[in-house]
C-alpha cells in the first residue's frame, strides 16, 4: 500500500511539471520579497538606519507576511489546488487514471499529498525569499551593514507551522469542490467568495466559523487592532478539525462517484 502510494505520488508530482500551479508556487513565494527588494532600492537612503534597528528581522518578517497572510496565501492555495485537479479534467485523463492498477484511495491521497507538499515548497521558498530581501540590499547598497540581531529561527518556524496548519482547511475544501466540478471557474469562484466572506466576518465574534479566516487571524492575533475579533480559542486546532472533516467528506464523495472517467 505504502509502495503503491509512493509510486502514485511520484507520478502525480511529474504530472504537475510545466503547469501553471507549479509556476504559481514559485511566483507566489517570491512576489512579496521582490516587492520589498524593489522598495528598498528605491528608499535606499533610509536602509542604513533600518538595518541597524533591533527588531529588523521581526519587522521584515511582519511586512513580508502582511499581504501574504491576508491575500496571497489564501488565493494562491485556492488557485493551486483547483489547478491540480483541473489537470485531469482539462486533459480528459480521469478515465486513464482510474484504469491504472492503483486503489482509488491511493489516487485521492497522493493527489492531496502533492498539493500539501507544494504548499510546503511554497513556505520554504517564501522564507528563502524573505532572507534574500534582507540580504540583497545589504550586498548591493553601500553603507548598509548586515543586521546585528540574530535571525529569530524559532519564531519563524513556529509561525510558519501555524500558517501552514491554518491554510489546510482551504486546501481540503478547495480539493473537495474541485474534484466535484469539471468547470474550473466553480471552485475558483466558491474559493474567492469564501475568501471575501472571511474578510467581511473578521470583526464578527463568530467569524472563526469560516474556515478561510485562520491565516488572517493568525497574522492579526498579536496586533492591537480593531480590524478583527480574534477568537479566544485555539484556531489551529479548529483548522486541523476542519481539514480532517473536509478531507473525509471529500474522500467519500470521490469514491462514491458513479462515473469515474
Partner 1 sequence: MYCLTTTNLSHQFSDNENVLNDINLQVIEGSIYGFLGPNAAGKTTTLKLLLGLLKRQQGEISIFGKPFEGNRVSILKNIGSLIESPSIYGHLTAQENLDLLQKIYQCPKARIQEVLNLVGLPGTGKKKAGQFSLGMKQRLSIAIALLHNPALLILDEPTNGLDPNGMIEIRELLSKLNHEKGITIIISSHLLAEIEKLVTHIGVINKGKMVFQGTLDELRNKQKELLFIAFETNDNDRAIKILSNENIHPKKEGTKLLIPSVSKNEIANIIQQFVHNNIEVYEASPIRNDLEAIFMNLIKN
Tell me if 113 contacts partner 1 by CB under 8 A: no
Q: Rounded distance, CA 62 to CA 68, Å?
A: 10
Question: Residue 168's CB: how many other CB atoms inside 10 A?
Answer: 22
| Cα dihedral across residues 229, 230, 233, 235: positive or negative | positive
Residue 11 in contact with partner 1, rule: CB under 8 A: yes
Residue 98 found at the interface with partner 1 (CB under 8 A): yes
Residue 19 burial (CB count, 10 A):
15
Indicate whether 62 belongs to the interface with partner 1 (CB under 8 A): no
- Cα separations in angstroms, 88 against 47, 181, 250: 48, 11, 17
Footprint (CB under 8 A) of partner 1, residues 222-261: 258-261
**Binding-residue total with partner 1 (CB under 8 A):** 27
Nearer residue to partner 1 within complex by CB, 93 or 223: 93
2 binds partner 1 (CB under 8 A): no
10 near partner 1, rule: CB under 8 A: yes
Instruction: Using CB atoms within 10 Å of the CB of residue 38, give its burial: 0 to 12 exposed, 13 to 18 middle, 19+ buried.
Output: exposed
Tell me: does residue 161 bind partner 1 (CB under 8 A): no
- By CB under 8 A, name the one of 35, 47, 102, 132 that touches partner 1: 102
Q: Which three cell numbers stand for residue 156?
A: 519563524
User: What is the pattern of x (binds partner 1, CB under 8 A) and - over residues 66-95?
Assistant: ---------------------x--xxxx-x
| All three cell numbers of 73 | 496565501
Q: Which letter does DSSP use for residue 103 in this model?
A: -
> What is the nearest approach in angstroms of partner 1 to the Cβ of residue 192?
25
**What residues line the site for partner 1 (CB under 8 A)?**
7-8, 10-12, 14-15, 17-19, 87, 90-93, 95-96, 98-103, 258-261
Amino acid at each position: 500500500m505504502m509502495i503503491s502510494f509512493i509510486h502514485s505520488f511520484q507520478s502525480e508530482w511529474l504530472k504537475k511539471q510545466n503547469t501553471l500551479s507549479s509556476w504559481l508556487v514559485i511566483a507566489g513565494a517570491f512576489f512579496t520579497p521582490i516587492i520589498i527588494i524593489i522598495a528598498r532600492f528605491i528608499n535606499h537612503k533610509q536602509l542604513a538606519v533600518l538595518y541597524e534597528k533591533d527588531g529588523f528581522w521581526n519587522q521584515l518578517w511582519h511586512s513580508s507576511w502582511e499581504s501574504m497572510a491576508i491575500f496571497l496565501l489564501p488565493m494562491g492555495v485556492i488557485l493551486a489546488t483547483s489547478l491540480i485537479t483541473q489537470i485531469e479534467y482539462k486533459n480528459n485523463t480521469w478515465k486513464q487514471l482510474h484504469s491504472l492498477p492503483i486503489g482509488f484511495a491511493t489516487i485521492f491521497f497522493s493527489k492531496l499529498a502533492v498539493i500539501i507538499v507544494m504548499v510546503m515548497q511554497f513556505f520554504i521558498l517564501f522564507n528563502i525569499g524573505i532572507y534574500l530581501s534582507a540580504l540583497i540590499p545589504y550586498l548591493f547598497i553601500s553603507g548598509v551593514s548586515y543586521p546585528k540581531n540574530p535571525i529569530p529561527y524559532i519564531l519563524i518556524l513556529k509561525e510558519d507551522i501555524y500558517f501552514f496548519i491554518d491554510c489546510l482547511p482551504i486546501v481540503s475544501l478547495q480539493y473537495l469542490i474541485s474534484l466535484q466540478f469539471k468547470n474550473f471557474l466553480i471552485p475558483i469562484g466558491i474559493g474567492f467568495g469564501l475568501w471575501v466572506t472571511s474578510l467581511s466576518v473578521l470583526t464578527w465574534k463568530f467569524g472563526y466559523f469560516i474556515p478561510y479566516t485562520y491565516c488572517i487571524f493568525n497574522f492579526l492575533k498579536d496586533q492591537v487592532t480593531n480590524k478583527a475579533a480574534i477568537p479566544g480559542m485555539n484556531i489551529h486546532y479548529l483548522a486541523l478539525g476542519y481539514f480532517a472533516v473536509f478531507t473525509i467528506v471529500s474522500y467519500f464523495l470521490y469514491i462514491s462517484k458513479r462515473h469515474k472517467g
